[in-house]
Structure 1
Amino acid sequence: MMADTPLTAAQNAYLFLLMAEAREVSNSELQQRYGISITGVDSAALVDNKLATVRKDRSLLHELTDDGWAEAKKIMAGGYVKPSGASPASATLHAVLAALHRYMQRSQSSAADIFAATTPPTPTSATTKPKSSSRKPKAGEPVNVQARIRNAYKRLRRDPIIWVGLAELRADLDYISTPDVDQALQQLLEKKKIRLIPEENQKTITSADQDAAIVVSGEPKHLIAFGA
């Protein structure tokens, strides 16, 4: 999906920053790590174009949507179109990303292979309770299930193996109902965002694997990978 309104140079940069982080990230963390925040018209442009989601906690938190990933990959693959407010840094960023795209083509890698989710900073306070690997939403908070699946996959994947068990994925997303996860997986499959395959070694399949499987064309699929 192409952005309805052309993004400025700054908004393009934020788009790629969120792709590099590959998870929900707060403005306080961005400020601490990079000295920047996604606010005002820049935040609104990403959200209005359905390229990112935003929610308010102690600070604003943004996360790239599937459309955001698609837009970022489209920009990487396309020729450089000078955006509003562009500086030499904007052209340099595009040149680096274009080179990365060429590498992805040569190595037959996907964006999900390259941009694995970063690790949130560990709380330093001794009284802070450790967070689970998958942040559970507050009551009534809208959940982008497809994005949660993508990020859970990136957390669970162990290089160089690209396949993650659906049982493991569902366990990480146990706060999302099984029908909602099933629906999101079917949508990702229809959009060719994921691949699903059966476990070849039938002797290793557990009851949890059987329960977690998605049936496609009458065949249970036990493993998931992102990328066509």
Structure 2
Amino acid sequence: MNDRLTSQDISALFTLMAVAREIDNTELEKVTGIRITGDVRKRLNGLGLVDSTRTGNKPYVHDLTDKGWVRCRYELKAQRPSRPGYYGYAFFAVLNGLDRYLGRERRELADVFQPEAGDDAEGLETQIRLAYRKLAPRPGEPVHLARLRPLLNGAAKDDVDAVLKTLGRQQVVTLTPNPNGKDVTAEDRDAAVRIGGDENHMIAIEES
């Protein structure tokens, strides 16, 4: 890849890969000790590797894009810098080993790095599958998230979004924008899952 990243850029990417979910700077610093700010944020946003949003004066919220996940996989096999220190040598050895495992087992990073699951995560996935089955005329048929969310027994949008993003990375579900932008309603926008700056209004599951 031609885009050169600094050690700070790569650290930010790997940190977001590790938490595997949308997270704001305050929580990110609490969990990992890292904040994504200034030139690092601007550079990663400009390259389309990280999606960062902000409401008012609240901390920036960051999410690793699909392109960012691809870049993380590429960086697993990157040549270690000179004199990285003892932690650095070990870190790059672990990354290279992880890359070999993924290649050998034909797995993706999303199979390894997932959001910390709460007690209800598995149950919420089951609810999503059941709701989809009720709405879809056949497996793989797109269904509006605005129609699916009311069937999830009042589950919080953030919790549902986290599960949907994980299932999307695992290629269990397909999340897409409404192909006809003129048909997008306010309800569609409210129910959408935002990934990489795009609003995804539809969900499809091949086997529900």
Computed over aligned residues only, the root mean square deviation of the Cα atoms, in angstroms, reads 3.7
Provide the rounded CA distance (Å) in 2 between the counterparts of 1:70 and 1:163. Answer: 14
Instruction: Give ranges in structure 2 of 5+ residues lacking alignment.
Output: 119-154, 176-188, 194-198
2:51 aligned to which of 29, 34, 53: 53
Equivalent in the alignment of 1:176: 192
Change (3 A) 1:174 1:102: farther
1:152 aligned to which of 158, 161, 164: 164
Provide the rounded CA distance (Å) in 1 between the counterparts of 2:53 and 2:173. Answer: 30
How much does 1:29 deviate?
A: 0.3
Equivalent in the alignment of 2:64: 64
Instruction: Give ranges in structure 1 of 5+ residues lacking alignment.
Output: 121-129, 136-147, 168-172, 186-211, 214-220
> More relative contact order in 1 or in 2 (CA 8 Å, sep 6+)?
2
Equivalent AA in structure 2 for residue 176 of structure 1: A
Equivalent in the alignment of 1:204: none
Provide the rounded CA distance (Å) in 1 between the counterparts of 2:86 and 2:48. Answer: 27
Equivalent in the alignment of 1:82: 81
How much does 1:71 deviate?
A: 0.7
Provide the rounded CA distance (Å) in 2 between the counterparts of 1:73 and 1:156. Answer: 17
1:7 aligned to which of 5, 8, 23: 5
Equivalent AA in structure 1 for residue 192 of structure 2: I
Preserved contact between residue 25 and residue 36 of structure 2 (Cα < 8 Å): yes
Equivalent AA in structure 2 for residue 223 of structure 1: E
Equivalent AA in structure 2 for residue 42 of structure 1: V
Deviations along 1:73-99, whole A, 9 cap, x unmatched?
A: 0111x341428x955544432221111
Provide the rounded CA distance (Å) in 1 between the counterparts of 2:26 and 2:80. Answer: 31
Provide the rounded CA distance (Å) in 1 between the counterparts of 2:112 and 2:34. Answer: 23
Deviations along 1:39-80, whole A, 9 cap, x unmatched?
A: 11111121111110101132111111111111110111x341
Aligned residues, how many?
A: 152
Change (3 A) 1:67 1:37: same
Matches within 5 A, 1:83-162: 88-118=86-116, 131-132=156-157, 133-134=159-160, 152-154=164-166
TM-score w.r.t. the length of structure 2 is 0.58
Change (3 A) 1:79 1:155: closer
Change (3 A) 1:102 1:40: same
TM-score w.r.t. the length of structure 1 is 0.54
SS in 2 for 1:134: helix
